[in-house]
Chains A and B, each alone.
Chain A
Amino acid sequence: MTAAGRRADDLRLRATQVLRSSSFRLAILYVLLLSVSAAILLGFIYWSTAGFMDQQTNATIAAEIQGLAEQYRQRGLPGLTNVIRERIVRDPGGAGVYLLADKDFKPLIGNLDRWPAGVPDAAGWIRFRLLERGPRHNDDHAARAQVFTLRGDLRLLVGRDVRDLEATRKLILEALTWGLALTAALALLGGWVMSHRVLRRLEAINQTSRDIMEGDLSRRIPLAGSGDDFDQLAAGLNHMLARIETLIAGVRQVSDNIAHDLRTPLTRLRTKLELLRTDLGEGHPAAAAAEDIIADADELLGTFNALLRIARIESGGQRAAFAPLDLVPLVADLAELYEPVAAERGQQLTLDTADAAWVIGDRDLLFQALGNLVDNAVKYTPEGGLIALSVTAAEQAVVIAVADNGPGIPAALHGEVFRRFFRADGSRSTPGSGLGLSLVRAVVELHGAAIALLDNRPGLRVQVQLAPTTAANKEPPTLGLTHP
């Protein structure tokens, strides 16, 4: 990928992060609220302004009508015609519109050349377009008028050109729309900037928590030094982290102490029993008892060791042996190791792997964890069953699956099986410590991997998913015992 491409990708990622952040969503909500309230406010202003202007026009028309009506009452049709003519002559470019027409709407007098099309409403109001022939172009604008029918089926129209009114109304509407758009844009921009800032602070917290989950308990969240609420949150979290670190160090110390203080006497016990058995000699009745006691002691020690081991792995930081490794030969070794046991139980063990699947991890711990899974599959799948091991390697994930067609585990118990001493059959009669899957989970978590129990229809399918690494940064393993 080119550097520019990578930058573009970074930018895309960043934008997605901002868009998905809760602070940005909050900002969007504010933009919406603000826009709606601004729209309501501006709408009200528009409505009252335009309404006022309409009323003014209507009042003017009403006054004209009153004047004309008076003339008509006093002097009849000639008086009315005179007044109309006078008014047109007095103000030729004015806003007044007059037309007197006969019963066939043929104009008699007025400043309209024909009766406008359109049907007046119940109160006699009519809206129409005025066409004004100018020297260079024709101008078309709105007018409003009231129409009356006079005696002898004469028709009178009195109205006003409302061009200015319409223009003002349009101006106000435009100004309001722009104002609204600008408000929304500013709010959006502000929201973006704010959420970006918030996101940066949150990202610092996220990064720290990821580092800590990967086992670096000494990490702390950086403070901005401003003492704001984020700093207070970070300080609180840092206190908590310090406390956790102390507690975990304590757990480690205690388990080391237990290990040291109990293991030596237990070794003594075991050695004494072995000596006792040797001293009694083969065939002595008590030798068999000693043998039993040794077996019991070994079982006890096995559980004790497994518990200590899980505790140590769970406390993290157990990464000295982490190295790049290919899981394909590891799983192949596992299949090869367990194949005879499966065969002895009449089971078929199959292996299906990718060419290579590089991850970073602890070879022995992974082998132990996957071994426990295969061990369970062999143990719980009935005779003649099928056990399938597979490794798939994609760019995103390496997935190891151990699938069987045995009785499976009810979905309700999927969360329980990783608990220490849990037994799916509820009894403690089957052999095993009940710690196998606890150890598996501890190892999986140490590797930052995920484990899923799935229904194999029928049977159980356990999938462990790890982050892949490139074979390019592999190194030869540097440890291990070598005997000739």
Chain B
Amino acid sequence: MERTWLNRNLIPYYLGWIPMAVMVAMLLLNRGNGPAFAIVVSLLFCLPMAAVGAGARFMCRALPLKRQRMGIVLASVLASGVLFSGLWNGLFMLVLRVTRLRTTDQIDAMALELFLLGVAAFIFTLLYHYLVEAAEQVRRARHNEDQALVLAGEARLRALRAQVNPHFLFNSLNSVAALIGAEPAAAREMVVRLATFFRATIAAGRQESIPLAEELALLRNYLEIEKVRFDERLVVEEQVDPALLPLAWPPLLLQPLAENAVKYGVSSSSGPVRIVLTGALEPEYAVLSIHNNFDPAGLPPPGTGTGLAATRERFERFFGEGATMTVDAEAGGFRVTLRVQREKLG
């Protein structure tokens, strides 16, 4: 918690008051006062004013500098300066008068100059606070920006790590080992598909986006690998409106969703699993969805929740506000729906 009157950020502010105190002292000396009087009065004048001025930061926060309100801000600054200096000098003069340290004439001679000095000092104080606030805002903005970059990078890395699912890798290699003996041609095809998959995974770390058409080709490649593993148990259907194909898409975003669909479907029953991928244009959104059937009585596959969360984060970060990912677990089925604002289609 920062303190209002005593914190390290205010050191330059208090140092700034030293020339002011010197000026007040010189003024008093010029008016024929002794040095002791000039120094004491100058300190009595400046110290409380510096303290009150330190609190003026709240006024700067309440009245931030904005182009459309510049007139109001300037008027407020001037008015508060006059009010502050007026009150302060009034009090100061009253003290001098009551204590009879100086004659009325001497006091009157000082009054205007001290008043103007007070107004100037107050305005400079406010100016200082505005500068500090502006610097703080720039620093905060840069910090937020850095953080957003770091988060985006982390999300991408996490997505990639999730993509290289060891179960998928080793089971696929096992399928290749099996095929080499029985069906060498199929084994070769499987190796090429795996190479395509891992090449895309590595590339996804560098590419910001790819056209949806390419993403769907990668998804098909992935599902073909899974089809070799699960044989006739896996049925894939795809109905995507061609109008969606040019959409700029974060690479391999759909893959973990398809993997979930396979995992859910295949692990919950030993019957066929149907995965349906649809893409349609709605009046406001381009909508993609992946659906799979599952047996609610079956075993839930371990660890799918975190994968979904990472995908959601990556999706929302890429398309920004307005893009939504919804997950529906209905009776006997599981659906993930991705909605992207239509204007993103360009």
Are A and B associated in one complex?
A: no
B contact set with A: CB distance below 8 Å = none
